[in-house]
Amino acid sequence: MPPNGQRGAERAIPALNALPRPLYARAESLGAGSWTPRHRHDWVQFSYAISGVLGVHTDQGSFFAPPQWGVWIPAGLEHEVVTSMRAEMRSLYVRREDCLWAPEHCRVLEVTPLARELIKSFCALPVYYPQGGSPEERLVQVLLDQLAGLSQVGFSLPLPRHARLLALCNELIENPDADVTLSQWAERLGASEKTLMRLFDRETGMSFRSWRQRMRLLSSLRVLEEGGSVTLAALSCGYESTSAFIAAFKKMFGFTPGELFRH
């Protein structure tokens, strides 16, 4: 889901053949539309948004981290990281062998206050922090333990592999306010509604209605991040009722639109 279809500065990917320590930190202040080319690496990445909204795009789907959430990216997974507006990002790179507990799929995690302070403290350490049972090494272990226990949230948008279904999904992503019914989709694909429902569920793990609602709510983050009103955000993603939009938004994110960005 490219932000606004616009791109700003390309971000450099760290030229690392291996991590100097089990945990490596990268702190960045990103301009609007910052992006990386698609790439992969041999270590796990956890990108955490202090402010702004991060988007991580993979072949399996897109993952979004509003402020105080982060995206966990498995080692070896090809991905692209984008921001629509200015963002403060902290990335942690972890050696595979030091997080064998990590699942082999992308996910969005809620950063707890303790994890947030540990990340802040670790980012202040030198790259070659002391090892051998040092306080710095113990801090790293506590941080890794905290990361292992962070709760997963549903800020992801799975994409189908079926070529024609993927094309229709991409069309809706580009036009989240489009009022396309399932029967219209089925007609375009030359299938029955029941067949399409089964195909969509099999390919994405979600019903068409649930997928479209999640897509719309995720697309509204860009409008809100840019300072747009709640009414504008609701209309931009296909909601005619602002109150219905706020209720759906709070159910998904746990906060109203205003509370989320204040939080």
Is 33's pLDDT higher than 80?
no
Number of domains within the chain:
2
Within-domain flag for 17: no
Within-domain flag for 200: yes
Can you give the pLDDT at residue 4?
Answer: 43
Range of the domain at 146: 23-153
Within-domain flag for 18: no
CATH number at residue 107: 2.60.120.810
Within-domain flag for 49: yes
pLDDT band at residue 141, thresholds of 50, 70 and 90?
very high
Same domain, yes or no: 125 and 32: yes
pTM of the model: 0.83
Is 189's pLDDT higher than 50?
yes
Sheet containing 43-51: give its strands across.
Answer: 23-30, 87-95, 43-51, 69-73, 107-110, 152-153
Sheet containing 61-65: give its strands across.
Answer: 80-83, 54-57, 61-65, 156-158
Can you give the pLDDT at residue 256?
Answer: 93
- Token duo for residue 196: 């399409």
Same domain, yes or no: 43 and 126: yes
Same domain, yes or no: 141 and 242: no
157-178 residue pLDDT tens: 999 988 888 988 989 999 999 9
CATH number at residue 188: 1.10.10.60
What does the alpha-carbon distance between residue 42 and residue 39 come to, in Å, rounded to a whole number? 11
pLDDT band at residue 3, thresholds of 50, 70 and 90?
very low
Question: What is the percentage of the chain residues whose pLDDT exceeds 90?
Answer: 60
54, 47 Cβ separation under 8 angstroms: yes
Within-domain flag for 3: no
Same domain, yes or no: 52 and 173: no
